[in-house]
Amino acid sequence: MTPYKSFAVAGAGKIGTFVIEALLAQNAHVVVLTRGVTPKTFPTGAAAEVVDYASRASIAAALTKHGVEVFVSTMGHGGFEAQAFIAVAAKEAGVRLFVPSEFGMSTVGVTEGVLAVKDAFAGHLKSIGLPSARFFVSPAFMKKEQTGYFGGEAKWLTGYDVNGKVNIVGSGTKPISFTAEEDIGGNGNTSLFCTIRPTLKRPYSGFLAYVLTSLEPSELHDKRFRLQGDRKTFLQLAELFKAETVFVDTMPGPSSEYTTILHKFIERGMGSTGWDYAAGKEGEEAAGSTNQLWPGHQWKSIKEIHGL
């Protein structure tokens, strides 16, 4: 069978915009599902379809119209519940592969906390007979910011953006997988979230777009992709960025409840994308074990992302 060529993407912020542009760079047909007005930064070359996420018929009609083979969800936490409804519509429309909104730490077998919702959705996809491809990349993307030592989500994960320190719940000695946004989704050319290297003359495809358009369907169906661009502990991050560390029981800031939960997961070892929740240890599908599916690619390190 030939690789997939037609894609639908729901969620055009952060990693979603990268993915859309990277798929277009691979000469794929891409339709972006929207709730209303097309964004001003809408990628050139993509189609847009306004859908009612409360209407299965509306979603199925849009997917059927474009002959969508693969549905990619990059929805945030607020859209997780909608995914189950969308999946049923996608199945009815003949979609052959569903990429759920993972793009974080491994959630396979997780039965507690906020991450359990993601694994439960994977079970839902299996129950309706719709194959999935799950991408585990990091508890926090690597991306460069204009100010501060830490970039992107790492700033949020450590609470650095709240008090200028690396806040740690636990020992801070457990390894954490980090993967650059560019390596996950691509660099794009109109994305507000991308960091384009001075030597880069054109958009390039990230891992997600590369494997979805290059691998045979049998190599994607019900597969897990465990990426890792770099690997550091919280203490190593603090040393790298010359930031003060403080050990806390609860993370500071408006996302305190969620980041505290993530720190507790990381303290158990789950910050590595190769973590096997059921076994309670790093699994046979190790962090970065699927990096090799992108031959010749040089994965970005934290030092490179931040120019250290």
Bigger pLDDT: 295 vs 198: 295
Q: Which is it for strands 6-10 and 29-34: parallel, antiparallel or unpaired?
A: parallel
- Three-class secondary structure of residue 281 per DSSP: strand
How is the beta sheet containing 97-99 ordered, strand by strand?
47-50, 29-34, 6-10, 70-73, 97-99
pTM for this structure?
Answer: 0.89
- pLDDT tens readout for residues 116-168: 899 999 999 999 999 999 999 988 777 766 445 566 677 888 998 899 999 99
* φ, ψ (nearest 5 deg) of residue 113: 70, -170
- pLDDT tens readout for residues 35-57: 876 656 677 889 999 999 889 99
- pLDDT tens readout for residues 54-98: 899 999 999 999 999 999 998 877 777 789 899 999 999 999 999
Bigger pLDDT: 101 vs 144: 101
| Domain residue ranges in the chain | 6-138+182-226
Mean pLDDT of the chain: 86
pLDDT at 40: 60
- pLDDT of 308 higher than 70: yes
Q: Which is it for strands 230-232 and 176-178: parallel, antiparallel or unpaired?
A: antiparallel
- Three-class secondary structure of residue 70 per DSSP: strand
pLDDT at 79: 73
Instruction: Give domain 6-138+182-226's CATH number out of 1.10.3720.10, 3.40.30.10, 3.40.50.720, 3.40.50.2300.
Output: 3.40.50.720
